[in-house]
Amino acid sequence: MPGRAGYPPFEAPGRTLRLGAKGAAVKALQARLKELGYVPGSADGRYGGATLTAVWAFQKVQGIKPTSTVAARTWRALENPRAPRVLVPRGKATRVEVDLTKQVMVLYRSGVPVLISHISSGSGVPYTEYAVWNGKRQVFSGSARTPTGDYKTTWRARGWHRSYLGQLYNPIFFNGGIALHGALSVPLYPASHGCVRLPMNVAGILPGMLGKGVPVHVRGAFRR
C-alpha cells in the first residue's frame, strides 16, 4: 500500500545513523530521500554533508527538530512521510515556495514538489560591509532581511558570481539583488545578507530545473 500522500512504500533499516556512517543503511536512506524529492547527493552509502542537509530538510518538513542523527523517529517519518505544507494553494503549477519559518525551499512542477531543500535566509541582523567595488572602496549597509512577497526569477549567472557582499554560486535572482544561490556555509539558522543560501549540490542542479519568469513566493518568519 502506498504511504501518506501516495508515496511508494519503504521499510526502514532501523539502524541509527550518524554523520560519517557508511553502508547499506545509508544507501537506503539516500535512495528514499531522493525518491521523496530531497537532494542527498549520490546514493554512495556514505553519510556526508550533502546527505546531512537533505536529512535536515526532511526532518524540518516532518516537524522533527533537525539533527545529524537518523534514529527511530526519522525512520518512521521516512516510512510514512508528509508532503511539504503548501504556502500558496492557488499558485501556479510550476513555482518556488520559500518557507522562512522552517528554512526550506520547495520547487513545484505540475503541482508536485520535485525538489525540497534546506536553506539559510537573511539573518535579520543589520550589517555594514566595506568592499572594493567598481574600482573604489565603498561601504554597503542593510537589514539582512529576506523580504516576504511574490516575485519571479529573473537573470542568473553560471558558477561563482562575485557580488559586493561576497561570492554566490549559480545564483538565480528573483527580487533585485536577492537570489537563490549555493554557498559553502548553509547553517541551521538564517545567516545571509538577504539571499536564500542553498547547499552546493542543490545549487548545482537547480538551474537546470528552474527557468526564467517562474513565480517565487516567500512566506513566514524564522523564530530563534
Percent of the chain with pLDDT over 70: 95
Q: What average pLDDT score do residues 52-59 get?
A: 98
Q: pLDDT at residue 2 above 50?
A: no
What was the pLDDT predicted at 21? Answer: 98
Average pLDDT of the chain, as a whole number: 93
Q: Global pTM? A: 0.92
Q: What is the CATH architecture assignment of 4-79?
A: Orthogonal Bundle (1.10)
CATH superfamily of this structure's domain 95-219: L,D-transpeptidase catalytic domain-like (2.40.440.10)
Round to whole Å and give the CA distance between 93 and 84. Answer: 15
Listed by start position, the domains of the chain span 4-79, 95-219
- Residue 195 a catalytic site member: yes
Query: Closest by alpha carbon to 51, among 82, 78, 76?
Result: 78
Q: pLDDT at residue 93 above 80?
A: yes
Contact assessment for residue 146 and residue 195, using Cβ atoms and an 8 Å cutoff: yes
Catalytic residue among 118, 181, 193, 217: 181
Catalytic residue among 118, 193, 195, 217: 195
